[in-house]
Every structure is written in C-alpha cells, then in structure tokens.
Amino acid sequence: MLDEGMVTGDALAGHAPDPRRKLVEVRGLKMYFPITSGLLRRKIGDVKAVDNVSFDIYEGETLGLVGESGCGKSTTGRALLRLYEVTDGVVKIDGQDVARADARTLRQMRTTMQMVFQDPQASLNPRMTVASIISEPLDEHTKLSKKEKLARIYELMDAVGLNRTFANRYPHEFSGGQRQRIGIARALALNPKFIVCDEPIAALDVSIQAQVVNLLEELQEKLGLTYLFISHDLSMVRHIADRVAVMYLGQLAELAPREALYAEPLHPYTEALLSAVPDPDPAVETRRARIILKGDVPSPANPPKGCNFCTRCPRVMAVCKDVEPAFREVRPQHFVACHLYDSDKTQDAGSAGA
C-alpha cells in the first residue's frame, strides 16, 4: 500500500500520502516566554509554553487540540496566527510562512486566517456596535462601498443566526451565545480559509455549546473552512474533530484520526485523559476504571529530562527519564511520542509529524 522508498523532501508525506492538500504546516514550533527578575529585569529562564510542536492540518478538516489547562493549547493556536512572536519554528498557512512574515504581509495574510476567541465578552470591544465590529476588517482590507459593506454585515449576521435588527447594539446587550455568534461573524467577515477556534464554547452553557458547535459545523460545510478546534472538552472534540491532537506540557503526545484515538489511545496520557470522561450510563459509570494520575504537572519553565510525562506516567520506564521520545508515526496516520512503541516497526518521522 505504501512505498516507503518514496520519502521525498517532505518527510511527512512519506508514510501515508494524503490526497488532500495541507493548508497548515507547522514544523518545530517553539513559543518561549522569558522569565525576568531582579532590578534590571534580567532574563533568568523561559517558560516553554510550546516546545517543538509539529503537525499539519488538511484543507477542509477539523483538527481537535486537547489537553489540560496550561498545557499550551491556546498558545499554540495564537502562535499559529502570529498573535505572539514565535521563538522558533515554521508555520505555513496556505503556503506562506506566517512566523516570519513582515508586518505588512502579515496583515494581508490575516484575511486567510482568523480566530474565534474563548471569552466572547472580553474579546469584543465594548465601545463598538456589532455592525462596526464586523465591518472593521472590511474597512481595513477591502474597498467595498458603504452599501456593499452593510449588505455583507447583514449577510454575515444571517449566516451566524443573529437578528439583523441587532446590528446597532453593543456587545454587552447580548447573551453569551449571541456574543460568540458575533465573534464568529467577525472572524468570517473576510472569507478566511483557516479558523482557530480557541475554546469557543468553554464560556457557554451546555445547551448553547451545542448550538455554537453545530453552527461551526454548518459553516464549515457551507464555506469549506478548516478549523483548529482547541478544547478541553473531549466529548465535544469527538463530535466535531476529524483528527485529534493531544498536548501535554507544551508538546504533542499523540495525534491520530478521531476514531483511532478514541478507540485505542496509544499514549498513557491520552489513555488517562480519556478514562476521565464520564459515561452517561450509571451502570457503566460505576464499573468504569479511571486512571488517576499522581502528582502535578511539572512547571513548563523547568520540564523534566527525557519524556515530559515521565514524572506522572503509570507505565514509566528507565529510558523515559533520560531520552526524549520522538514524535513518530507508529500506525498509519497515528503519531505518538512514547518509548513504549520504540520497538514497533515504523519509520522514524524525524522531528516532524502530521
């Protein structure tokens, strides 16, 4: 089925050549935040929020990014759109390197990549009406006439299910779900190809969560959008994502198609994470064996030597505390960074992974 000899310049394509086009390519992404101290604010170290992360997102798919609080999910999402100055690595979106684009190019590229933020209240300027929030990117990046702009605003409001008569209201006059719809309409204004959804439903009621997620799915179908869906809600990710990446302490632990990951998690961390999802059936729920991880997440300023997860891993081995596991494709399209699978015969995907 696969010709391993065909590994070309793109090491990732070597294993399972995918007919789909890669819209987003991330290679060795590092996002370090300096720690300063003392009178002169000397740099004494780094918080390694994202440390050497590589993955691809194919056009039209939804990649779920899960992990516990503080593992670097949101930082990855923001770094992808260059809302932070990345420390190192390559981020290519639609063929263009975002991480190193100059200010002007970057601003033009912002039309292809957008973000839906976590907190729909704080992420909208309280002094701007819905219409001006949605039309601001149009003012900046297009030359539409006033009438066309208004038509576009109404079109977007219709698309996200907002009543047109609300155009001149301010964000605080809306409910959480409606505000998130404003945030989505705003992100869609410039017809982006790629949208990072940074925990778009975390601040919403459960009933509203479903509405917003369904809206995102509908829009994806209609507009052919590509999502990076960041969440800590595993069941929601299972619902929306085509592939799922699991993050732990700034690194990717596992990346696999949804069904494969939920059916057979390879990484001990993924296993523990999935075992924490409650089951709606009380009979199953009482018999469910939860893997309880001991200890706390180490500080990203001082990650452990070897595997990042070695301090809490229930299946830790001697090698884990010494050698950092490579992020490798151990099954087709199933990548994992764990020494347990060192013996599995597969080709080393090197520093990259998809």
Partner 1 sequence: MLNYTIRRLVLAVPTLLFISLIIFSLLKLAPGNPLGDLPLTIPPEVREKMREALGVNKPLLVQYLLWLKEFFVVEPLHLIDVIFGTHYSAGMQRIISWQTRSPVFDIIAQRIPQTLWVVGLAYVVGVLIALPIGILSAYKQYSVFDQTGTFAAMLGLAVPPFFSGVLMILIFSVYLNWFPAIYNTNLNVDSWHNFWLQIRQMVMPVLVLAIQTTSQISRYLRSSMLDNLSQDYVRTARAKGMSESRVVLIHVLRNSMIPVITVIALGVPSVFGGAIVTEQIFLVNGIGQLLITAIYANDLPMVQTITFIFAVLIVLFNLVADLLYGVLDPRIRYD
Q: Which of residues 194-233 bind partner 1 (CB under 8 A)?
A: none
* Residue 140 near partner 1 by CB under 8 A: yes
Pick the closer one to partner 1 by CB: 195 or 247. 195
Pick the closer one to partner 1 by CB: 13 or 106. 106
Part in contact with partner 1 (CB under 8 A); list of ranges 19-27, 121-129, 151-159, 225-233:
121-129
Bridge partners, 26 (sequence order)? 55, 91
Bridge partners, 50 (sequence order)? 31
* Residue 83 near partner 1 by CB under 8 A: yes
Pick the closer one to partner 1 by CB: 115 or 307. 115
Pick the closer one to partner 1 by CB: 77 or 300. 77
* Residue 191 near partner 1 by CB under 8 A: no
Pick the closer one to partner 1 by CB: 41 or 143. 41
**Can you tell me which of 20, 100, 107, 315 binds partner 1, judged by CB under 8 A?**
107
What type of residue sits at position 267?
H
| Angle, helix 130-141 to helix 176-188, in steps of 10 degrees | 10
Q: Which of residues 32-71 bind partner 1 (CB under 8 A)?
A: 41
Binding mask 171-190 for partner 1 (x = CB under 8 A): -x----------x--x---x
Pick the closer one to partner 1 by CB: 121 or 347. 121
Cβ 172 to partner 1 shortest distance, Å: 5
Rounded to an integer, what is the distance from CA 327 to the centroid of its chain?
17
In angstroms, the first-to-last Cα distance of the chain is 19
Question: Residues in the site for partner 1, rule: CB under 8 A?
Answer: 41, 78, 81, 83, 103, 106-111, 114-115, 117-119, 122-127, 136-137, 140-141, 170, 172, 183, 186, 190
